[in-house]
Chains A and B, each alone.
Chain A
Amino acid sequence: MGILRTFALGGIHPAENKLSSNIPIETIPVPKQAIVPLGQNLGAPSKPIVKKGDMVKVGQLLAEAGGFISTPIHSPVSGKVFKIDNAIDSTGYKRPSIIINVEGDEWDESIDNTTDIVSEITLDSKQIIEKIKNAGIVGMGGATFPTYVKLMPPQGKVAEYLIINGVECEPYLTADHRLMLEKGQEIIIGTHILMKALNVKKAFIGIENNKPDAINHMMKLVKSYDDIEVQTLKVQYPQGGEKQLIKASVNREVPSGKLPIEVGCVVQNVGTAFAVYEAVQKNKPLIDRIVTVTGKAIKRPSNFLTRIGTPISQLIEAAEGLPGNTGKIIGGGPMMGKAITSLDVPIVKGSSGVLLMKKEESSRSIESPCIRCSKCTYVCPMGLEPYLLSKASKLSNFEMAENESIMDCIECGSCQYACPASIPLLDYLRLGKLKVGQIIRNRGKN
């Protein structure tokens, strides 16, 4: 094998800890009560159309899109709407949610709830996009950007390549890995659907070479198609970042401040491709997803097919309980995931994993002075100088932060991971991005 493809700037290689990569996907029972937050996509939250006391079926519309960049939400369970009230979500805040008391598991009749594979794509591009929009599909890798928006390039921009993201570069997470192994055929059909929607002639599926079984499986599946190519990528974090993956896959660089479509690319996660398959071929809206439940202390690291709205406490029970020395619970992976405040937090469309960290892994080391070792600069995949940006933020010199391209930061955390002085660089960078973002928006108003 020659030199494997990867992105050019920076990058780190944290311990992979893919504890659950050999554990098949397991369906866990529907919860007794589902908590369905209204804000599950990047953009405007959805608007509820049901009210307290309504009876709903699985797949029935609960809330409609609340704006152009927004998605509808469907009921992941059947039962009675208990209330529409604020409930704690993964942000740690109480946010409006539809809470449903589950009764049975009755599905909407229009949904094909079988595992039979439907390969023939009958809909045209417009119909596909409409279907994806109505099914409430968002980016399943965690960004939760509404998928249909990405399928409608702005005037004058043409998509040339579809890139399917099977990188899963976050340590611990294996949801995408298992999905490729177990639902590969559906992902390929989903890819073809997305290609038809975008009218592109070529798709790449990028997979890091720490998943040789998934690479072999997907390669076998695409053998008969010359419009889809599986690419083996060198393991390097954050290769799953859109811009890094495009660089690795087709060697194009998305200009600063622009979207992938600028270089003719659209990136979709394998989980999204699978959700697209289910929506278009089986008429099934996005009501469940694969969630990795993992951690060094957990008895049974698992990959669960989970309904949206299931509290994470139930997933942890299914993985044989919360270890006594749990110090931190993370929604997502250890590099970009969010620390969760309560076990009542529900699984949402963007939940890729639940990671339990031991007490001794949970706290940060004490910060010491910067020794100007440049490691943050060497590992930054965007070519930024995190030491300088964090200093600018700390001193509220937001003009400097902006000039030094703070808005290009993708918040991958590589700088903070690499910092020998344990400086919380990304905390400062997030603050700086927030402030600079406000300054830029205010500038637009004047």
Chain B
Amino acid sequence: MDKFTVSGSPHIHGDESTKKIMYGVVIAMIPTMLFSIYFFGVDAIRVFLIAIIASLFFEWVIQKYLIRGPLTINDGSALVTAILLALNLPSNLPSWMIIIGALVAIGMAKMSFGGLGKNVFNPALVARVFLLVSFPVQMTSWPKPTPITDGLSDVITGATPLGILKESLDAGKTISELTPELPTYTQGLMGEMGGSMGEVSALALILGGIYMLWRKIISWHIPVSMLLTVAIFSGIFWGVDPEHYADPIFHMLTGGMLLGAIFMATDMVTSPMTKGGQLVFGFGVGLLTILIRMWGAYPEGVSFAILLMNSTVPLINKGFKPRRFGKN
């Protein structure tokens, strides 16, 4: 008598898997990685390699010796965290700090919550913020991007456009006085401005975003609602007082806005489950970001905004249910 498999329906499965999703995100980050290598050269490669090796190592060690669960370092999730972490760092960050960042991301933000899918906060962002408050000097001295095609030159460090903006406005300058120091829209789009490795080229980030939308890894709800909130809110202030508030496009193209909107706020694990909830989440991130940028102590607020909104996700999930069939 033949033995047949007996299991409950359904007997077929779609072709999506966690691994495919994770490597899909990795593919989406490739343009940004290439741009950062183009601008920051060998140092960028160093940051990527150290972040990746350290993250995978910590994931492996913790799973093997602390959690003692099945080894899943090849599911791609630690790789995604590692690359995101690297994209959130300046290219001249000392290697040992990167390793600490990887330990914080994987060990503290991910594994201590129970591993993949259980973390409340975006691991890469937790690590970024940890490094930012621990090593404020190193985390805010940004090498100016110099295309590798220009040959090897001494690395010049400088502030980010948002840093220049904050400092100068606080010092009583007006936007028109600042214009020569700030990047043009084209420079912002291409990435010729100071910042973390993944923050510089808007174009590369948008390319990755389009790929993830097409692969249905992310939906438009969080990025659109976040960016729209930023645009409207900053637009109002800019419209009223363009000498003391930067215009919406400047806000879009600078800092971690697009990196956050496309890759960080959309993280499945730490964002709401329904479309309605995602719209609210995006709105919250956008609003908090602009509040911090305009009136906070830090020039940049995307990381804090996303982490703060991460903590509201369980509440949002409770409040925003899908429309039930047959119930009004």
Q: Do A and B bind each other?
A: yes
List the A residue with the shortest CB-CB distance to B77: A371
Q: Which residues of B contact A427 (CB under 8 A)?
A: 8
Q: With both chains docked as a complex, state the minimum distance between the C-beta of A314 and any C-beta of chain B, in angstroms.
A: 16
Q: Say yes or no: B323 contacts A420, CB within 8 Å.
A: no
Task: Flag whether B295 is at the interface (Cβ < 8 A).
Answer: no
Q: Say yes or no: B9 contacts A426, CB within 8 Å.
A: yes
Q: Say yes or no: A374 contacts B4, CB within 8 Å.
A: no
Q: Interface residues of B, CB < 8 Å — how many?
A: 37
Q: With both chains docked as a complex, state the minimum distance between the C-beta of B118 and any C-beta of chain A, in angstroms.
A: 7
Which of A253, A322, A365 is B13 in contact with, Cβ under 8 Å? A365
Per CB-CB distance, the 10 closest pairs between chain A and chain B, nearest first, are: A413-B10, A369-B117, A256-B326, A383-B324, A339-B6, A362-B5, A420-B16, A382-B325, A334-B12, A328-B5
Q: Which residues of B contact A84 (CB under 8 A)?
A: none
**Contact of A373 with B9 at beta-carbon distance under 8 Å, contacts A341-B4, A385-B322 already known:** no
**A237-263 contacts to B (CB < 8 Å):** 243, 247, 253-258
How far apart sit A327 and B3, CA to CA, in the bound complex (Å)? 8
0/1 per residue, B101-118, Cβ < 8 Å to A?
Answer: 000000000000001111
Q: Say yes or no: B18 contacts A420, CB within 8 Å.
A: yes
- Besides A322-B2, A334-B10, A368-B72, 14 new A-B residue pairs in contact (Cβ under 8 A), listed by A number: A9-B325, A253-B325, A256-B326, A326-B2, A361-B11, A370-B117, A372-B268, A372-B269, A383-B327, A385-B321, A405-B324, A411-B9, A420-B18, A426-B10
Q: Say yes or no: B5 contacts A339, CB within 8 Å.
A: yes
Q: Say yes or no: B268 contacts A371, CB within 8 Å.
A: yes
Q: With both chains docked as a complex, state the minimum distance between the C-beta of A188 and any C-beta of chain B, in angstroms.
A: 31
Q: Which residues of A contact B16 (CB under 8 A)?
A: 375, 418, 420
Q: Say yes or no: B12 contacts A14, CB within 8 Å.
A: yes
Q: Which residues of A contact B2 (CB under 8 A)?
A: 322, 326, 343
Q: With both chains docked as a complex, state the minimum distance between the C-beta of B263 and any C-beta of chain A, in angstroms.
A: 15
Which of B9, B17, B115, B326 is A336 in contact with, Cβ under 8 Å? B9
Task: Flag whether B274 is at the interface (Cβ < 8 A).
Answer: yes
Task: Flag whether A363 is at the interface (Cβ < 8 A).
Answer: yes
Task: Flag whether B153 is at the interface (Cβ < 8 A).
Answer: no
Task: Flag whether B20 is at the interface (Cβ < 8 A).
Answer: yes
Q: Say yes or no: B21 contacts A426, CB within 8 Å.
A: no
Task: Flag whether B164 is at the interface (Cβ < 8 A).
Answer: no
Task: Flag whether B14 is at the interface (Cβ < 8 A).
Answer: yes
Q: With both chains docked as a complex, state the minimum distance between the C-beta of A265 and any C-beta of chain B, in angstroms.
A: 13
How far apart sit A14 and B16, CA to CA, in the bound complex (Å)? 12
Q: Which residues of B contact A255 (CB under 8 A)?
A: 326-327
How far apart sit A398 and B324, CA to CA, in the bound complex (Å)? 19
How far apart sit A329 and B3, CA to CA, in the bound complex (Å)? 10
Task: Flag whether A171 is at the interface (Cβ < 8 A).
Answer: yes
Q: Which residues of A contact B18 (CB under 8 A)?
A: 368-369, 371, 420-421
Q: Which residues of B contact A362 (CB under 8 A)?
A: 4-5, 11
Task: Flag whether B45 is at the interface (Cβ < 8 A).
Answer: no
Q: Say yes or no: A371 contacts B269, CB within 8 Å.
A: yes
Q: Say yes or no: B10 contacts A335, CB within 8 Å.
A: yes
Task: Flag whether B273 is at the interface (Cβ < 8 A).
Answer: yes
Chain A CB within 10 A, most for which of B5, B9, B271, B327: B9
Which of A327, A372, A408, A418 is B325 in contact with, Cβ under 8 Å? A408
Which of A330, A408, A430 is B324 in contact with, Cβ under 8 Å? A408
0/1 per residue, A7-47, Cβ < 8 Å to B?
Answer: 00100101100000000000000000000000000000000
Q: With both chains docked as a complex, state the minimum distance between the C-beta of B53 and any C-beta of chain A, in angstroms.
A: 23
Q: Which residues of B contact A327 (CB under 8 A)?
A: 4-5
Task: Flag whether A61 is at the interface (Cβ < 8 A).
Answer: no
Q: Say yes or no: A383 contacts B322, CB within 8 Å.
A: yes
Task: Flag whether A76 is at the interface (Cβ < 8 A).
Answer: no
Q: Say yes or no: A14 contacts B323, CB within 8 Å.
A: no
Q: What is the predominant secondary structure among interface residues of chain A facing chain B?
A: loop
**Contact of A377 with B322 at beta-carbon distance under 8 Å, contacts A171-B12, A339-B11 already known:** yes
Q: Say yes or no: A373 contacts B21, CB within 8 Å.
A: yes
How far apart sit A343 and B1, CA to CA, in the bound complex (Å)? 9
Q: Which residues of A contact B324 (CB under 8 A)?
A: 256, 382-384, 405, 408
**B136-172 contacts to A (CB < 8 Å):** none
Which of B1, B5, B274, B323 is A9 in contact with, Cβ under 8 Å? B323
Which of B4, B17, B77, B118 is A422 in contact with, Cβ under 8 Å? B17
How far apart sit A411 and B4, CA to CA, in the bound complex (Å)? 23
Q: Say yes or no: A420 contacts B325, CB within 8 Å.
A: no
**B1-56 contacts to A (CB < 8 Å):** 1-2, 4-14, 16-18, 20-21
Q: Which residues of B contact A328 (CB under 8 A)?
A: 4-7, 11
Q: Which residues of A contact B17 (CB under 8 A)?
A: 365, 420-422
How far apart sit A148 and B321, CA to CA, in the bound complex (Å)? 38
List the B residue with the shortest CB-CB distance to A362: B5
How far apart sit A335 and B10, CA to CA, in the bound complex (Å)? 4
How far apart sit A257 and B327, CA to CA, in the bound complex (Å)? 10
Q: With both chains docked as a complex, state the minimum distance between the C-beta of B164 and any C-beta of chain A, in angstroms.
A: 38
How far apart sit A258 and B7, CA to CA, in the bound complex (Å)? 30
Task: Flag whether A277 is at the interface (Cβ < 8 A).
Answer: no
Q: Say yes or no: B13 contacts A381, CB within 8 Å.
A: no
Q: Say yes or no: A420 contacts B117, CB within 8 Å.
A: no
List the A residue with the shortest CB-CB distance to B69: A369
Q: Which residues of A contact B271 (CB under 8 A)?
A: 372
